[in-house]
Amino acid sequence: MRVPVEVSVFLLSLLAPGVLYAMNNIPALQEPLPILGMGMVVLGLVLLLLLLMVQNKTKVDPLFYVFAEFSFTCMVGLTNALEQDGFISGFMGFYIKMGEPHLSNSYAVMMSYWEGVVHHALFFTIIHRMFRGKSYRSLGLLWAGSSIAQQIVLIPGVVIGKHGSNIRPAFLRNVPFFVVPFWAAFLLFRRSRVMPIETADKVAAEQKKSLLSRPVDLLLSLLLLGAAAFSVFRGFVVLDCPMDFCFSYIYQYEPYLKDPVGFPRIMMLVYLFYALPLLTVFIYGLNTPGCSWMLDWTIFFAGAVAQTQWCHIGASLHSRTPFTYRVPSDKLWPVIALNVLLAAVPTLLALRCHTSPAFFLKSVPMGQTNGKKKEN
């Protein structure tokens, strides 16, 4: 009996801690350039093993190699998170010292947990569906949004933050992890969407309803407006807005926003310049019938916001964050509630779009469905 591909990929990813442990105990591999070189060699060997793993398959989706290779690095991330939090030791010391020192920061630790758990699970689910001929497009977009958001906060955050003066050659390994998710997202968006089958009568009936006649959409529109306002506000806060309420917020509610590591500032600017326009067009999509792009972009955006909010909330509470930058104990629940709500809104929107998509589908002649033409 042949072992399922996803099981083989999982077993291959379990080699990552062993590789790290070996490198941590070989002094010759603990210098900046050898670390980068060994990283490239290891990833190359993993790719070779993946090619051998599927050599008997007649047709392999190129994205398989992306998901399988990244699953290996997810275990590296999980190993880092567990070591930084004191659960294990002897794996990452050399890499933190001579490779990427910023990975010991609380934001990077939370990012590593997300990689090691959420991304890891997504990869195995996607690979499972891929080799059984099932669609994985939505799961792929969820990962792409999460991964792109991770990189556009991580890389600039390292460069402009306090770790910017201590960048080593191993930091270059982030370049493919920045580029590949964009390429994967491009491929996924270009692929045909599996459209739900709805009767034309139902589509027409849903699209005739005003926003006031759709209480769920009305509530989501209000929540999106609130998320947009909160994104603008925190963007102004990290840009050193001199107004009293901005000053009060950053010192009394979220002092983590002024942590010199740079990640929170970059994250708020990403929200201001990228999330805000998307929130605006989602409000438009909830008001305008036939915006079928909502079915894809809401999933992509939900992944991005979930990842960044997880890292932000966790880092603002983590013991590795200096006490002065953590959320004050008397403001803990309001701050957590606001940030959890901000993370939940895109997820709720994506669920709404996919559980009842009739409003967003392109209209078709009455009496037809999307899957069956009317017979004369």
- Among the listed residues 259, 225, 263, 218, the one whose alpha carbon sits nearest the alpha carbon of residue 342: 225
223-251 pLDDT, tens per residue? 999 999 999 999 999 999 999 999 999 99
Taking the alpha carbons at both ends of the chain, their separation in whole angstroms is: 51
Q: What are the DSSP calls for 191-220, one per residue?
A: SPP-----BHHHHHHHHHS-GGG-HHHHHH
320, burial (CB in 10 Å: exposed 0-12, middle 13-18, buried 19+): middle
Q: Is 290 left (phi over 0), alpha (psi -120 to 50) or beta?
A: left
275-304 pLDDT, tens per residue? 999 999 999 999 999 999 999 999 999 999
Q: Is 197 left (phi over 0), alpha (psi -120 to 50) or beta?
A: beta
Residue 150 tokens, joined: 């991770």
Separation CA 286–CA 197 (nearest Å): 20
Separation CA 131–CA 150 (nearest Å): 27
pLDDT at 228: 98
pLDDT lower than 70: segments of the chain: 1, 364-376
pLDDT at 373: 39
9-54 pLDDT, tens per residue? 999 999 999 999 999 999 998 899 999 999 999 999 999 999 999 9
Residue 241's CB: how many other CB atoms inside 10 A? Answer: 16
Q: Is 86 left (phi over 0), alpha (psi -120 to 50) or beta?
A: left
Separation CA 30–CA 99 (nearest Å): 8
pLDDT at 56: 87
What rounded mean pLDDT belongs to the chain? 93
pLDDT at 366: 54
pLDDT at 194: 79
